[in-house]
Every structure is written in structure tokens, then in C-alpha cells.
Chain A
Amino acid sequence: MDVVSEYLRRATDGAPPSRIDVDALIAADHRRRRFLIGGSAVTVAAASLAVVMVGHAFSSGTAPDRTVGGPAGSCVAPTPTWTEAPPVDPSKPPLMYPMDTVGPSPMYTEEPAEAAKARLGQAFAAALRSAMPGVPFTDWADPSCALPQVITFDPAFPYESAVVVTDVHGRGDIVIHLYAAAPERPACDDCVWKQDLPGGGLAYVQTDNPGRVDIWRPDGTGNMLLAADHMGDPARTVPPATREQLIAIGSYPALSIFPR
């Protein structure tokens, strides 16, 4: 089949210069790793900002309202367009929700990024309230904001958000990445743990990080959640969220990049 091979080789002649910058890929991965390493830091800059803002908030006597997560101050987002799920009863596991089984919609590309960020921030807050009733939380970088702020990260992980929760053990971080997952349910050959979810979803763990759970949703959303101590707080001895709670958050129906 030398003729076919020759055709194919010639078809790739005249390739334009590559847009791929290997060093940029490595640098981006460094940023991602810094973000993912427990709760010790999102980035040095973000951590510094948070510390400064926490200091400012408390020193000025304007500590954030930690009674319950929700819209507050200048970070109010539009009212959710979905019906919020009732809080789950932690005494009745499993904590999880049935998910949409409809495939991805064009909303992922058609929805303006700012609208998606506002919507997903509301959904993340609702998921937290439902899965962790009574546990106060604030945005990770802006403790004066009780609504999680969603930021874009890179093409592989379009949206990410993080909150600081406060419970009897101290402060802790819960981080979520939302991305377009493969349409097929993960084979999970190398998973160290997995659990089927209602509606055909899957929760799984591929690392030895006990505070991480990945959720594959049949609607095409992948949610990766991390629970960790807040910026390496040595006083914190238990994760701020159980695996079941992370699953409940990650499977929250509205927390999808493909909204119905």
C-alpha cells in the first residue's frame, strides 16, 4: 500500500508552523499542580490575596456572614432558574442525585462565559447548601463573598471554583473543576475506587488523594472535586467534606456545563 502511504504523506506537506508551545504546556501544568496540591494553595498570588482580604475583613470588623452560604454583597448573581433540591439527610446515605441522561447540548459553547460563571456559581452554592446543610462557606479568594466565584482556567478545565468552609474542625477548602468529559462512561480500569450513580453516572477515584473524587455525568459534564485543609492548616485533621458529600455536590443536577 505504498501508494496510499504516499498520498497520505503528501497530504500533510506544507504544514503551517506549529502553534504548540511545549514550555507553555509544562508551565500550565505547573499552575494546575499548584492548584491541586491539597488546600495548601491555588496560587501564591491568590493565597496572598486571600490572606490580605481575610486580614482586612477581620481587622475592619467586617467579617463575612458565615451563617450560611448564599448571595451577599457585590457578588450577587442572578436568581437560579432551577428548583433548588432539598437538603439531603446525612443520616440516610447514599448522598447522591439522579442525573440527566440527555446528551450534551450546544449550550457549552453558546452560553456566554460570564453567564455560565454566574449560573455555575449559584449551582455550586446550592449544591453545597444541599450536601452540607448548615455548614457556612465563602468564596476561596474573596471571604467577603458568600457566593462561590467561578473562574475559567484552561481549555481542558473550563470552569473552576473553590470555597472555604468552616466547621467544628476548623477551615477547609472544597474545590471543583467542571469540564466537558468524554461521552463514554469512563472504563475506570486504573481506578482505586468507584461507585455507580443514579441515572448512569459514575463517581471514581484514580489517585491516592483521599480528598479527591471525580464525577462523570451522563450529560457530558465531568466534575472533579477536592476537599482539603485550608492552606495547609495543621490543626485540621479531617477533610472538610466526606467522599459522600463530594459525590452529592458533584452530582447536583444544576451543576452541569450542559444546562437543559
Chain B
Amino acid sequence: MAADEAGYREYVIHRLDGFRRTAFLLCGDWHQADDLVSIALVKLLRHWRRVSVMEQPDAYVRRVLLRTWLDERRRPWRRERPTEVVPDRPDPARADREAHTDVMAHLAELPPRRRAVLVLRYFCDLSVEQTAAALGITEGTVKSQAARALDTLRARLVDVPAMEE
């Protein structure tokens, strides 16, 4: 078990930063991101012996992260609350200048799975096939969700190109 733990510790220390950033892009909050990653790492530890011999342990952690995040969003206290006034849309010219700081706000406008597709495809650099496997959806759905996500971003961030099929 000591050897297992040493392996686990080494793996986590090397991957922790990437997992935190992925979780942050999913949930938009660093504290919640740390919570999500903690839950994923606890599950990883419990299954480390099995996961450590997998070809891609990262895929397991990402899948747990995604599932945990999606589960958390379904909790009543996590649900979005309706507001009487719709927030102003950003001015496209201004959005260009503030694109980097506003990208999280734009991500927040995306439905959860579409947001997850975007993060997995363009931050984690997963293929369509890998993204589909991580989310348990078809490759066609990944493509369509990615295209819609990019459409949304393009409307906000002027230099986002159209998706190439």
C-alpha cells in the first residue's frame, strides 16, 4: 500500500494544477474547483490500484470531475435563480478588449454539457472521440455541441473562427 500511495502522491502532485484549471473552467469558481478536484482525488485514491494500470488515468479523473460537477449542478442549492432583469450583453467592440477577462462570463452562459465539451476539446485537447467517451455522448453530439459553443463565443469574442468540420 505504501508503494501505491507513493505512486498516487506522485501522480497527483504532477497533475493537480491541470485538474484544478479544468475544474475551474467547468464551474467558474476556484473554491468549488478545489472541492470538485478533492472529491475526484478521493475517488481516485480508493480505486488507485485499478486506475494506475490504466492506459490513461487522466481520463478516469476527468470523468469523475465531470460527473461530480454535473451532479453538483443538479442539487437544488446549486441551481440558477431567476432574475427579473436580464443582464446587459457586452458591446462587441468592448468584448474584444476584455475578452480574456470576460471569457468565464461567456462560458457561464453555456449549458453544462456544451461547456464541458468546449473545455475538454479546447483546453484539455481531447479528440472528439475522447470527449464523447468522457461525457458518455456520441461523437456527433460532441461536434454539434462544440459548434454551438463556438457560435456563442464567436458572438462575444470577435476573433473566434468558425468551426472546421
Interface residues of A (CB under 8 A from B): 1, 3-5, 7-12, 15-16, 18-20, 22-23, 25-26, 28-29, 103-106, 108-109, 155-156, 180, 182-183
Contact = CB atoms under 8 A, between A and B. Distances in A.
Contacts, number: 96
| Chain B interface extent, by class | 35 or more
A180 B75 contact: yes
A180 B45 CA distance: 19
A4 B160 contact: yes
B42 A182 contact: no
18 contacts: A5-B123, A7-B103, A7-B157, A8-B103, A10-B100, A10-B103, A11-B103, A15-B20, A15-B21, A18-B16, A18-B34, A20-B20, A22-B9, A25-B41, A28-B42, A29-B42, A108-B75, A183-B71
A19 B31 contact: yes
Contact of B75 (A25, A28, A104, A155): A104
A156 B159 CA distance: 42
Contacts of B41: 20, 22, 25
Contacts of B157: 3, 7
Contacts of B160: 3-4, 7
A106 B78 CA distance: 10
Contacts of A104: 75-76
**Which 4 A-B pairs rank lowest in CB-CB distance, beginning with the nearest?**
A12-B21, A8-B123, A4-B122, A10-B100
A22 B25 contact: no
B150 A4 contact: yes
Contacts of A182: 67, 71
B153 A4 contact: yes
A65 to B, nearest CB: 39
Contacts of B67: 182
B61 interface: no
Interface string B27-58: 00011001101110110011000000000000
